[in-house]
């Protein structure tokens, strides 16, 4: 029915209005597809959110740039600034590069996105020892090795100052002079602490992430539970262990209750139950609002599952994609030809999401825990904690679990204010820490091009943070060089207001938890639309016209796995040989039946929506959209 839906739409038009009307509809839908088929967009996309607001400028080299943080975002920022001819110093308080993942990730854990969906756009994933491609998900050690190779290849290692924490930033701004910054740095070498002042720097890039202090909700009786011998853990605590056995020894042969179903907890449940040599004797998995679980490997064909994150899939309207996900999950469960208990667990979880809106919440890309539940090794409870009473936990559905030994909270991290919790800022009010209060989530209008935030507040619903951070880093380096000039303050504030409203309308209803930095609506983005919005400013988006002029390449871009290599095909910093080779060798992301499904939805919607190109041309960057003057838009106060 879905595949033939375009025929169902065209036939009555032809029969009632004639062949001319049907031909006009077909031509209009064809133009609509060219404008939209490989260009996913946010819900509520409007002229100001789609307009390129930075301007071309003259290039300058030799700027002094301080990069704070040596995780993936920091390394990419340092590399891009070095490549643009600037002097870079990179600070990090850890011993090795990799940020939170490299230094605090639990043993046995793997990335939730596969290598070609996670890698940077001009440095392929490392091959295996036998020389074969690495398709499956990296372990912590493999990904750190990749980051180290990336840093060495592009000269970033020479900029690193590890075990060096920036504790204070002093801003100097005198009339007629450029703004500069001095950094107070605390360094640990040989067990001794030294404090130095370094600088001046012309630009600062904050690349330090937001997951710092674990968030554990307050519950009645929790302290009583601890006093009676119960142990309380947070998912972040297991990263300091050297092995799976060491990480989960406290749970051996114990009665364990876990709260939460983010990506971390999904892996922890599986490792603790299925991999540890002495697993718990009883495990209850408590989930308050359901979850959209996407296995790392597709159960239908064994392929890497995030290869299904294609442009053709994510460029249909969000409501249509959401309906597709839920409806197909329902059909798969209702008409199942086998007793697949894991699939049943996944559908049970997706059906408990409020409003049945899986595509409006970050996905959980791990399936091992579902296997444990399906095999009876753990029990699933769709309820939150209500209170503790000695060693008994009461749930919001009125049930309880008695004689609990350990509780694991997978409840995210506390909201952090960088300039209150870790870095003192002097000279004026510190930059905005809320990502929705920054232009493109990168620049605070009060600081203009001198301060940028890379990799902070950009968690994609699906996809990978390093790829988003890299495209941010490319724009930041262009702004530092003067190749792109930021718009006036009122224009930036107007764009901030527009983006904030769009984000709240789409994510606020489903991600309203303001207590955790990792689950609030302000931290999440739509992966491909957000990267495309930054790429438009850089000038490196794939061309929709390739559907006509380079159809085989456009086919791989639209139907192949989303990779940040899309943004190296043309424009500033283009490396088309590397990018095109990778794009062409990656397989088509979906099964052919899925491709037909999504393409048919595209054609059907295009047949109904093509008049929008004329009625609202700005929303589709069509003709007439340049008449819209952004500076005239009244800016709202950003959060």
More confident residue, 635 or 63: 63
Q: What is the pLDDT of residues 316-371, one digit of tens each?
A: 999 999 999 998 888 888 887 677 788 889 899 999 988 889 998 888 888 888 88
Smallest CA-to-CA distance from 71 within 6, 153, 150 is with 150
Paired residues of 307 in beta bridges: none
Token pair 């086919």: residue: 555
Mean pLDDT, the chain, rounded, equals: 89
Band (pLDDT 50/70/90 cuts) for residue 110 is confident
The mean per-residue pLDDT over the stretch 539-548 comes to 92
pLDDT at 518 (0 to 100): 62
pTM score, whole prediction: 0.92
Tokens of 62: 């030799």
Tell me the fold of 222-409: FAD/NAD(P)-binding domain (3.50.50)
Distance of CA 37 to the CA centre of its chain: 22
Q: Is the pLDDT of residue 77 over 80?
A: yes
E strands along 476-592, which residues? Answer: 484-485, 524-525
Q: What is the pLDDT of residues 564-608, one digit of tens each?
A: 999 999 999 999 999 999 999 999 887 888 889 999 999 999 999
For 299-316, letters b (16+ CB in 10 Å) and e give: eeeebbbbbbbbbbbbbb
Q: What is the pLDDT of residues 424-459, one digit of tens each?
A: 999 999 998 889 999 999 999 999 999 999 999 899
pLDDT at 516 (0 to 100): 63
**Taking a C-beta distance cutoff of 8 angstroms, is the pair 385, 286 a contact?**
yes
245-253 long-range Cβ contacts below 8 angstroms, 24+ apart: 245/276, 245/277, 245/278, 246/107, 247/106, 247/107, 247/108, 247/271, 248/272, 248/276, 249/278, 250/406, 251/276, 251/279, 251/280, 251/405, 251/406, 252/276, 252/278, 252/279, 252/280, 253/278, 253/280, 253/281
Q: Indicate the domain borders of the chain.
A: 5-36+592-632, 55-211+416-538, 222-409
Taking residue 397's Cβ as centre, other Cβ atoms within 10 Å add up to: 12
pLDDT at 365 (0 to 100): 84
Q: How far apart are alpha carbons 222 and 87 in whole angstroms?
A: 51
Tokens of 399: 């049930």
The mean per-residue pLDDT over the stretch 64-76 comes to 97
Q: Is the pLDDT of residue 627 over 50?
A: no
Q: How many angstroms separate the Cα of 253 from the Cα of each of 249, 273, 277, 391, 466? A: 9, 10, 10, 16, 38
Band (pLDDT 50/70/90 cuts) for residue 631 is very low
Helix (H) or strand (E) holding 225: helix 222-227
Number of helices followed by number of strands (H, E) in the chain = 23, 21
Q: Is the pLDDT of residue 514 over 70?
A: no
Please confirm whether the linkage preceding 200 is cis (ω < 30° from 0). yes
Tell me the fold of 55-211+416-538: FAD/NAD(P)-binding domain (3.50.50)
Token pair 């702004």: residue: 479
Tokens of 301: 């064909």
Going 349 to 352 to 358 to 361, the CA torsion angle's sign is: negative
Range with the largest mean pLDDT of 86-100, 222-236, 472-486, 548-562:
472-486
More confident residue, 509 or 525: 525
Range with the largest mean pLDDT of 376-385, 464-473, 621-630:
464-473
Q: How far apart are the first and last CA of the chain?
A: 45
The mean per-residue pLDDT over the stretch 133-156 comes to 94
Smallest CA-to-CA distance from 432 within 486, 481, 520, 496 is with 496
Band (pLDDT 50/70/90 cuts) for residue 622 is low
Q: What value, to the nearest 5°, has the Cα angle with vertex 38 and ends 633 and 31?
A: 80
SS3 state at 104: helix
Are 55-211+416-538 and 222-409 in the same CATH fold? yes
Tokens of 137: 């998900």
551-559 vs 576-585: helix crossing angle, rounded to 10: 60
The mean per-residue pLDDT over the stretch 365-384 comes to 89
Band (pLDDT 50/70/90 cuts) for residue 56 is very high
Q: How far apart are alpha carbons 536 and 434 in whole angstroms?
A: 23
Q: How far apart are alpha carbons 554 and 541 in whole angstroms?
A: 12
Residue 281 — φ and ψ, nearest 5°?
A: -80, -20
Q: Is the pLDDT of residue 469 over 80?
A: yes
Band (pLDDT 50/70/90 cuts) for residue 155 is very high
Tokens of 259: 């709260």
**Taking a C-beta distance cutoff of 8 angstroms, is the pair 267, 242 a contact?**
no
Q: Pairing relation of β-strands 203-206 and 451-453?
A: parallel
Paired residues of 395 in beta bridges: 385
Smallest CA-to-CA distance from 306 within 528, 532, 2 is with 528
Q: Is the pLDDT of residue 630 over 60?
A: no
pLDDT at 515 (0 to 100): 60
pLDDT at 517 (0 to 100): 58
**Taking a C-beta distance cutoff of 8 angstroms, is the pair 37, 469 a contact?**
no
**Taking a C-beta distance cutoff of 8 angstroms, is the pair 437, 446 a contact?**
no
Residue 498 — φ and ψ, nearest 5°?
A: -65, -50
More confident residue, 411 or 301: 411
Q: How far apart are alpha carbons 97 and 113 in whole angstroms?
A: 19
Range with the largest mean pLDDT of 246-260, 518-532, 609-623:
246-260
Choose the weakest-confidence range: 22-36, 295-309, 510-524, 556-570. 510-524
Q: How far apart are alpha carbons 576 and 569 in whole angstroms?
A: 4
More confident residue, 170 or 330: 170
């Amino acid at each position: 029915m879905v595949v033939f839906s375009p025929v169902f739409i065209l036939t009555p038009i032809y029969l009632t209005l004639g062949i001319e009307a049907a031909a006009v509809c077909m031509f209009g839908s064809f133009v609509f597809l060219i404008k939209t088929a490989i260009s996913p967009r946010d819900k509520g996309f409007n002229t100001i959110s789609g307009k390129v607001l930075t301007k071309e400028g003259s290039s300058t080299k030799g700027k002094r740039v301080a990069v704070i943080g040596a995780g993936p975002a920091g390394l990419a920022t340092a590399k891009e600034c070095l490549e643009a001819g600037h002097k870079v110093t990179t600070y990090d308080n850890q011993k090795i590069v990799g940020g939170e993942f490299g230094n605090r990730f639990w043993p046995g854990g793997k990335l939730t996105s596969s290598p070609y969906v996670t890698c940077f756009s001009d440095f392929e994933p490392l091959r295996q020892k036998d020389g074969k491609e690495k398709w499956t998900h990296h372990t912590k050690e493999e990904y750190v090795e990749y980051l180290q190779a990336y840093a060495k290849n592009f000269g970033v290692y020479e900029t690193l100052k590890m075990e060096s924490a920036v504790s204070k930033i002093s801003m100097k701004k005198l009339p007629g002079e450029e703004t500069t910054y001095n950094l107070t740095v605390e360094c640990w070498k040989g067990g001794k602490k030294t404090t130095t002042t370094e600088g001046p720097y012309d630009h600062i890039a904050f690349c330090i992430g937001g997951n710092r202090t674990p968030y554990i909700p307050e519950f009645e009786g929790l302290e009583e539970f601890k006093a009676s011998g119960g142990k309380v853990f947070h998912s972040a605590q297991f990263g300091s262990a050297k092995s799976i056995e060491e990480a989960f020894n406290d749970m051996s042969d114990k009665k364990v209750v876990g709260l939460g179903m983010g990506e971390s907890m999904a892996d922890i449940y599986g490792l603790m139950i299925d991999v540890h040599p002495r697993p718990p004797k009883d495990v209850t998995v408590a989930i308050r609002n359901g979850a959209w679980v996407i296995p790392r490997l597709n159960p239908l064909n064994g392929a890497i599952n995030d290869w299904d994150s294609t442009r053709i899939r994510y460029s249909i309207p969000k409501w249509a994609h959401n309906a597709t996900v839920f409806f197909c999950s329902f059909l798969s469960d209702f008409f199942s030809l086998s007793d697949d208990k894991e699939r049943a667990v996944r559908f049970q979880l997706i059906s408990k999401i409020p409003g049945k809106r899986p595509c409006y919440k970050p996905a959980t890309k791990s399936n091992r825990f579902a296997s444990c539940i399906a095999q009876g090794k753990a029990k699933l409870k769709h309820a939150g904690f209500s209170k503790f009473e000695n060693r008994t936990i009461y749930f919001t559905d009125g049930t309880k679990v008695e004689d609990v030994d350990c509780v694991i909270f997978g409840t995210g991290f506390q909201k952090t204010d960088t300039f209150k919790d870790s870095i003192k800022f002097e000279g004026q009010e510190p930059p905005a820490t809320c990502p929705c209060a920054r232009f493109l989530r990168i620049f605070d209008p009060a600081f203009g091009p001198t301060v940028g935030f890379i990799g902070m507040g950009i968690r994609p619903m699906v996809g990978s943070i390093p790829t988003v951070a890299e495209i941010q880093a490319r724009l930041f380096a262009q702004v530092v060089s003067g190749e792109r000039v930021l718009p006036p303050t009122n224009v930036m504030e107007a764009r901030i207001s527009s983006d904030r409203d769009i984000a709240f309308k789409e994510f606020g209803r489903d991600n309203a938890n303001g207590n955790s930095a990792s689950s609030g609506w302000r931290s999440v983005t739509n992966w491909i639309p957000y990267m495309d919005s930054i790429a438009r400013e850089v000038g490196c988006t794939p061309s929709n016209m390739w559907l006509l002029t380079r159809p085989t390449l456009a086919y791989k871009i639209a139907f192949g796995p989303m990779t940040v290599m899309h943004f190296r095909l043309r424009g500033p910093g283009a490396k088309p040989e590397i990018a095109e080779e990778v794009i062409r060798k990656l397989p088509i992301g979906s099964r052919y039946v899925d491709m037909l499904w999504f393409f048919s939805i595209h054609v059907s919607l295009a047949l109904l929506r093509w008049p929008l190109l004329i009625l609202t041309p700005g929303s589709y960057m069509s003709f007439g959209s340049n008449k819209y003057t952004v500076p005239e838009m009244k800016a709202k106060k950003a959060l």
